[in-house]
Amino acid sequence: MLGISASAAAGAKRETLGHSLRGRPIVATASGAGAAPLRVLVVGSVHGDEPAGVRVARRLTASPPVPRAALWILPALNPDGLAAGTRGNARGVDLNRNFPFAWRPLDGLEYSGAHPLSEPESRAAARLTRRLHPNLTIWFHQPFGLVARSGGDPEIERRFSQLVGLPLAPLYRPPGSASSWQNQVLPQSTAFVVELPALVSRGLVRRAARAVRALARELAA
């Protein structure tokens, strides 16, 4: 693997999955045994102007491993957009419109790129997803304050809604979205979107991180 370093104290490892258009590293942290029966991927931020999930991801990174689960935490898929406070990456591409499933050309703030997986950031996420085959993936966004019915396992979506204390509701599934692509290419797994509200308190950050860990424990049991 590329760019891996180990933390003996936390039992975690960091991996550089690739680099953004401006050369910033795209880094994930994994905790738990690689051979664990449950693999969970959490992406804190896709749109650079929706940063609250990064706080949840960092809290998860600092937490101890979940028994029988391997947690992969990717705080920021779009580090250039996060640094600039922009929705898209450095080329103005909305990464959540750049995945292959149902992709179509879009312009403006939802510019979908020249073709599916045209961007190094979305390619890094796709490579990791195909390699890990995560049983569960949670994509954090803002600002609607809900757990979206995303086409994954509805019982798992409902359970996370209960754990985090946000309503479960239908939400527009855009073309080329990461969660829809995952649910199509990995039908035995489930991916869904959590829309944090525009303003996120410390309490909600703690609750969201606890909800991820509680769901992982339940699914790994």
Classify residue 101 by burial, with Cβ atoms within 10 Å: 0-12, 13-18, 19+: middle
In a domain, 143, yes or no: yes
Average pLDDT over residues 56-66: 96
Identify whether 100 is part of a domain: yes
Let me know if residue 51 belongs to a domain: yes
Q: Check residue 186 and give its pLDDT.
A: 94
Q: What is the mean pLDDT of residues 136-163?
A: 97
153-162: per-residue pLDDT in tens? 999 999 999 9
What's the total number of domains in the chain?
A: 1
Least confident of 1-15, 47-61, 133-147: 1-15
pLDDT for 9 beyond 90: no
- 163 lies in some domain: yes
The per-residue pLDDT for 199 is 97
Q: Any idea what the CATH number is for the domain that residue 209 is in? A: 3.40.630.10
State the number of CA atoms in the 13 A half-sphere of 165 facing the CB: 10
Give per-residue pLDDT as tens, 172-205.
999 999 999 999 999 889 999 999 999 999 999 9
Domain that holds residue 157: 5-19+47-190+202-220
pLDDT for 1 beyond 60: no
Residues of the chain with pLDDT > 70, as a percent, come to: 95
Residue 178 within a domain: yes
pLDDT at 35: 84
Average pLDDT across the chain, whole number: 94
DSSP E strand boundaries for 37-180: 38-45, 69-76, 136-141, 144-149, 168-170
Q: How far apart are the first and last CA of the chain?
A: 29
Q: What is the mean pLDDT of residues 24-28?
A: 98
72-127 pLDDT, tens digit each = 999 999 999 999 999 999 999 999 999 999 999 999 999 999 999 999 999 999 99
Q: Could you tell me how far CA 17 lies from the centroid of its own chain?
A: 14
Residue 89 belongs to some domain of the structure:
yes
- 35 within a domain of the structure (yes/no): no
Q: Is residue 31 part of a domain?
A: no
- The whole-number pLDDT of residue 11 equals 63
